[in-house]
Amino acid sequence: MIRKLPLAAILLLAPILAGCNPQQLSEEEKKQVVSMSLDALPPLPADPSNRYADDPLAKAFGSTLFFDTDFSGNGEVACGTCHKIDAQFQDDLPRGKGIGTTDRRTMPLAGVAYSPWQFWDGRKDSLWSQALGPMEDAREHGGTRTFYAHLVERKYRDRYERIFGPLPDLSGLPERAGPKGTPEEQEAWASMSAAEQDAVNRVYANIGKAIGAFERSILPGETRFDRFARAVANGEEPAGDAAFSDLEMEGLKLFIGTANCIGCHTGPRFTDDNFHNTGVPAPAGGPEDHGRAQAVAQVLSDPFNCLGPYSDAAGKCDELRFMVREGESLERAFKAPSLRGAASRAPYMHAGQIASLEDVIEHYRQAPHAPSGHSELRPLTLTDRGKEALIAFLKTLD
């Protein structure tokens, strides 16, 4: 017995039965698709705070430092320990692990040079200053500023001086001293003169500038979505792996349409580089984390920020000068991460609180209240097929 479907059901199923293709995209949707392609990615923005940002020697030196485990207190941790090449320069862990375990997830590095703020909360305003933070964090690299300066002198003096000029005289300075070390290391730092501290800080800043020059070269790779978008831009029918399935096309239309994922995950890197409270639950047993609200004071007081004495910017620091410094919108707001490669980058959120993409989308569908502050989310009307479609689309970004 064949049952006739109601007209409303036929109309609802029509897009699925007919199959989806680029011709089903409106002109506005096509523009949005093209704007998210890697072909639309602009040239790397200049970093006026780092005069060595595009120096090939600095980039090569930074690559060496990035993978050198000697740059840690126990000789076992490098930047590459958490930022693994074969894992999108992150580590697949809920929270990063160096010497100890940190409070947040390791972020991937592809395209980070495009972002004006670094870390989940934006407490650093450049790649080079970001590189310095983990190096003197006891849970990450666990070293001190004089330790790194002495290490460069012993191991890399020639390479350093070819780029940055002569090293200062470090003889007589404590082997391990810094403002963020153990009480003994902090006391040793305080015993140094202001001129000695400044000399060490300049070496330390240059280490960061070399690593920043290397990280600046890490860019996202082309995906199926980019090949699809290129065909759309050229008015062609996508072929081969660039052709989207019906489910992937539905997910794309939801992403840029009623699901409004594009509200935060926009542009060629699928991020607006802004900070959002999306009601993400606090990690079990973790410390109180206020996100951007607690980072504002940190970035403003950082001696290695764009306006600081070790910056090369000469005051060209509009992002820092005019950033939002207060307001409820900052409470528990975290940076929107790039969604490129996200489908294979579980777990999710700033401390790995959500295990799977299915759970992430369910979180957005339910839009729970934030632990503190106010979530930007509103409950999302989305069918189970809609969830499957969004996940199918996100996989085209791998």
- Which CATH class name applies to 22-41+223-291+331-395? mainly alpha
Alpha helices, DSSP H, located in 111-245: 127-135, 145-155, 157-164, 183-190, 194-215, 224-233
pLDDT given at position 22: 57
- Which CATH class name applies to 56-215? mainly alpha
pLDDT given at position 284: 86
Distance CA 145, CA 151 (A): 10
List where CATH 1.10.760.10 sits in the chain. 22-41+223-291+331-395, 56-215
- Residue pLDDT tens, the chain, 398 long: 333 434 333 334 434 333 445 558 999 999 999 999 999 999 999 999 999 999 999 999 999 999 999 999 999 999 999 999 999 999 999 999 999 999 999 999 999 999 999 999 999 999 999 999 999 999 999 999 999 999 999 999 999 999 999 999 999 999 999 999 999 999 999 999 999 999 999 999 999 999 999 999 999 999 999 999 999 999 999 999 999 999 999 999 999 999 999 999 999 999 999 999 999 999 988 889 999 999 999 999 999 999 999 999 988 899 999 999 999 999 999 999 999 999 999 999 999 999 999 999 999 999 999 999 999 999 999 999 999 999 999 999 99
Alpha helices, DSSP H, located in 136-193: 145-155, 157-164, 183-190
Query: Is the Cα torsion angle 308, 179, 135, 173 positive or negative in sign?
Result: positive
Write the pLDDT tens digit of every residue in 376-390.
999 999 999 999 999
Distance CA 343, CA 346 (A): 7
Longest distance between any two alpha carbons in the chain, whole Å:
94
Query: Is the Cα torsion angle 175, 179, 180, 186 positive or negative in sign?
Result: positive
Tokens linked to 326: 């207060």
- Residue 55 DSSP one-character state: -
Distance CA 88, CA 340 (A): 10
- Residue 124 DSSP one-character state: B
Query: Is the Cα torsion angle 373, 376, 378, 380 positive or negative in sign?
Result: negative
For residue 334, report the phi and psi dihedrals to the nearest 5 degrees.
Answer: -125, 155
Distance CA 69, CA 64 (A): 10
Distance CA 342, CA 207 (A): 30
